[in-house]
Structure 1
Amino acid sequence: MPHTPVDTNGEFDPAVSCRGWCARCAREHSLPVGPARGPALALLERMEREGRIDFEAPEPDPRFSVGYLDGEARGQMFGVLVARDKAGATVALKAFSGQYNSAWEVEGWAPPLLDTARFRRDTFEAEQRIKSMGREIAGIPAGSPSRDLLIYRRKAASRTLMQEIHAMYRLPNFRGETVPLPLAVHGDGGVPTGTGDCCAPKLLGLAAAQGLVPLGLAEFYFGRTNRSGTREHGRFYPSCLDKCARILGHMLCGLEDA
């Protein structure tokens, strides 16, 4: 993925954009918004102006219209990371959270932290079995012992599948280390679905892989206000605590020495 040179006009926002506790260092690592707010605003304005996110394509693909974010999707988070490359130039990377209208990858945007071809190949059969059990459950009367047993088996199969999916994610840091997602998670309890798919992990993962030194990161919400009312169009938010904070301690580790 090519780097995009960026002019930040010397602006610097000291607010913390993302953070996480690092078990290795027994301390919290963090990254400020820094010089990223201006380039993030420029991205927001470009999306509003062009009405799409596939900026690199000669012809717009309807799948990547921002109209998708005004429909059932109800909006999505987007992020920009400003970094210094090996030549000392300031560059910007951009990412969207999760998938965009069922697409994992869009040219010019940070890729996911897992091999999507392997994901589709290795999860297909398990997903079909789980769906089949769901259809079978729907046809069994409520309260039936056989129905309760099948529900238990479906939950167990779903839990196993999620563990296998989490193991596919590879999370690098700025010490040159890369580990599977489960080994990067800090704190007790299960790993929430979608961990590793937010903008900050994608951007930091790409920066680490390309030898860039992050200087700042900014994330904004685009689209309809979400159902809980906690996200509004055009507003900036720090990285989430329930998912990102549990892995960003590992991913930010080593940045102070970069």
Structure 2
Amino acid sequence: MHSPEHCFTPFQQSIDLQTLPERFTFPFYYEPHPLCLQAAAELQRHLVTQRNWQHNFGLDGNTETATGKMFGVLVVQNAQGEIGYLSAFSGKLADQNLLPHFVPPVFDMLAKDSFFLAEQVEINQINARIETLEADPQLAELAAQLKAAQQQADTEITALQGEIVAARKIRKQRRAEGEATLAEDALQDLLAALGRESIDEKYRVKDLKRHWREQVSRLQTQYDALVTQIEALKTQRKQQSSALQAKIFAQYRFLNAHGDEKSLGELFSATPQGIPPAGAGECAAPKLLHYAYKWGMKPLAMAEFWWGRSPKSEIRQHQNFYPACRGKCQPILAHMLEGLDVDENPMLTNPAAGKALEFVYQDEAMVVVNKPAEFLSVPGKTIEDSVYLRIRECFPQATGPLIVHRLDMSTSGLMVLALTKDANKALQQQFIQRTVTKRYVALIEGEVDQDEGEIHLPLRGDIDDRPRQLVCRQHGKPAETYWQVAERKAGRTKVYLYPKTGRTHQLRVHCAHVDGLASPIVGDDLYGVRAERLHLHAELLELNHPVTREPMCFQAEAEF
């Protein structure tokens, strides 16, 4: 049985010189508070020294079964006024939900008396019956016989119809010869005989079709009887799984600072998908907050960090801090933060305020600008200020959509915009046909061994944590980048990047992923460590003028 004393951890080192946070952490974009940094450091020491459980994080070189894990710390003030922290892990750890030092899950599906285990056994039994029926040799044999019968029926019927067509031509010829040579009585006898032959052939086709229809129907009935059993079991499995899922959603009930409680189903009912995604409610952040509220602790600050080897699809750096995932946690945390004084959402602040666009080139057809870092290319959901809006204000007479291509908000550098519809079409065609040369310069962490190379890592959006991108070889879109080393210095590498495709965050992921350069770009707040800015700049752009077709080259040096 968990209790506040069981999970509340007093700080091992004095915090007398630390200032308590004025407001609680905005969980989706934050800098860890010093108290969170201290709590995380103490938890990491615990992960290294504890001997109560074993989990392969992939830190000792054994990467075959390695799985890193997201951990969270929540700095709290307990009912006695003491400052300490709570610890949690996302999902399961060492195949367990309950481990010493960590808060329990909001609902423990693995508890011995849990309805989940009993009902999961029933569903597993249905799965076993389905697998047995699908593996039954009779099912495969009937499927093969049915296919063979259908093919044989088509073959014989087609052959007979061919014979009849040939016989019809012969009868037509005999009829013509009889009409030319035979007397009336003999001609009538011939015509009657030809008619009987025609009728006999129709009956032959009819009989053959009936024969094969009966054969195929008999086999189909036997085959359908087995398939019907399987489909009935699948329907039963679906119904029981849906009922179990709804029952589980109802058990996950989350408190907030007001003491209000809402279930997982309630919290996701207003979302576009309408139901919680897999794993919702199992992340560290909601576990921590729920436990604090349950035991009367006041949440002060929170942070989450990754420990261990990165997943193959995601990019997670060992010991780096990360925001809460939006897909699984935003509806939950929006409720759980009610009643807390929370830091403002920095993403609602216009990052382009006070920044000016540098015009590199302009004529009647096009404009080339040097976009500052942290400046939107097009209006966002909450912020309209952008390159598009600035150009629209500067050139109110411009026609067409203006935007030809985009740069990520955090990326600085050259952008070309079209001032007429024809120019926009001509420029877009060059980007589509990939005749435009784009060169980016980036400063990445670590020194790259090779001098150049190509990266092929297909990408797709992370539906649970937008705007992050995943490497996905099954469903991702092809993404290709050629790179060259420009300089190595002080443990970092300056590289030139030539994207052959233009996927979202392509260069950032290709640099950071273990199968790419395995070195995140300096200042990458999504795939690396945040700094004063993202050190990625679109410095060179070569294209043909949309009207004159004259080759043009633009270059803007990076400020970093």
Output the TM-score relative to the length of structure 1: 0.78
Deviation readout 1:189-223 (Å, 9 max, x if unpaired): 22112211110001001111122221211111112
**Corresponding position: 1:33 with 2:56:** no
Which residue of the partner structure matches residue 83 of structure 2? Answer: 90
Deviation readout 1:133-184 (Å, 9 max, x if unpaired): 2122223258834333433332232122111111112211100122322223
* Corresponding residue to 2:233 among 143, 150, 155: 150
Shift of 1:128: 1.4
Q: Distance in 1 between matches of 2:329 and 2:247?
A: 19
Q: Distance in 2 between matches of 1:159 and 1:228?
A: 28
Secondary structure at 2:119's aligned position in 1?
helix
**Higher mean C-alpha displacement, 247-256 vs 181-190:** 181-190
Which residue of the partner structure matches residue 313 of structure 2? Answer: 228
Which residue of the partner structure matches residue 264 of structure 2? Answer: 181
Which residue of the partner structure matches residue 9 of structure 2? Answer: 4
Aligned residues: 236
Conserved? CA contact 1:82–1:91, under 8 Å = yes
Shift of 1:187: 1.7
Alignment of 1:73-112 (within 5 A): 74-112=67-105
**Corresponding position: 1:43 with 2:32:** no
Conserved? CA contact 1:17–1:218, under 8 Å = no
Conserved? CA contact 2:56–2:66, under 8 Å = no
- C-alpha distance 238-15 of structure 1, shift in aligned 2 (>3 A): farther
**Corresponding position: 1:18 with 2:27:** yes
Conserved? CA contact 1:32–1:217, under 8 Å = no
Secondary structure at 1:33's aligned position in 2?
coil
Tell me, which stretches of 5 or more residues in structure 2 are unaligned? 144-226, 343-560
- C-alpha distance 111-32 of structure 1, shift in aligned 2 (>3 A): farther
Q: Distance in 2 between matches of 1:247 and 1:114?
A: 14
Conserved? CA contact 2:110–2:117, under 8 Å = no
**Corresponding position: 1:67 with 2:56:** yes
**Higher mean C-alpha displacement, 3-12 vs 103-112:** 3-12
Deviation readout 1:98-126 (Å, 9 max, x if unpaired): 22222221122111112557674312332
- C-alpha distance 145-106 of structure 1, shift in aligned 2 (>3 A): same
**Corresponding position: 1:200 with 2:285:** yes
Secondary structure at 1:246's aligned position in 2?
helix
Tell me, which stretches of 5 or more residues in structure 1 are unaligned? 20-29, 53-59
- C-alpha distance 229-157 of structure 1, shift in aligned 2 (>3 A): same
Of structures 1 and 2, the one scoring higher in RCO (CA 8 A, sep 6+) is 1
- C-alpha distance 33-152 of structure 1, shift in aligned 2 (>3 A): farther
Conserved? CA contact 2:109–2:117, under 8 Å = no
- C-alpha distance 125-88 of structure 1, shift in aligned 2 (>3 A): closer
Q: Distance in 2 between matches of 1:200 and 1:173?
A: 13
**Computing the radius of gyration over CA atoms, which structure comes out larger, 1 or 2?**
2
Q: Distance in 2 between matches of 1:226 and 1:120?
A: 33
Letter in 1 for 2:56: G
Which residue of the partner structure matches residue 217 of structure 1? Answer: 302
Q: Distance in 2 between matches of 1:13 and 1:180?
A: 30
Name the % identity: 30
Conserved? CA contact 2:40–2:73, under 8 Å = yes
Q: Distance in 1 between matches of 2:22 and 2:256?
A: 23
- C-alpha distance 228-44 of structure 1, shift in aligned 2 (>3 A): same
Conserved? CA contact 1:110–1:202, under 8 Å = yes
Conserved? CA contact 1:224–1:233, under 8 Å = yes
Letter in 2 for 1:181: L
- Pairwise CA RMSD: 3.0
Letter in 1 for 2:18: G
Which residue of the partner structure matches residue 210 of structure 2? Answer: none
Letter in 1 for 2:129: E
Letter in 1 for 2:306: Y
**Higher mean C-alpha displacement, 73-82 vs 152-161:** 152-161
Output the TM-score relative to the length of structure 2: 0.38
Letter in 2 for 1:252: L
Which residue of the partner structure matches residue 401 of structure 2? Answer: none
Secondary structure at 1:148's aligned position in 2?
helix
Which residue of the partner structure matches residue 27 of structure 1? Answer: none
Q: Give runs of ≥4 in structure 1 deviating > 4 Å.
A: 11-17, 68-71, 115-120
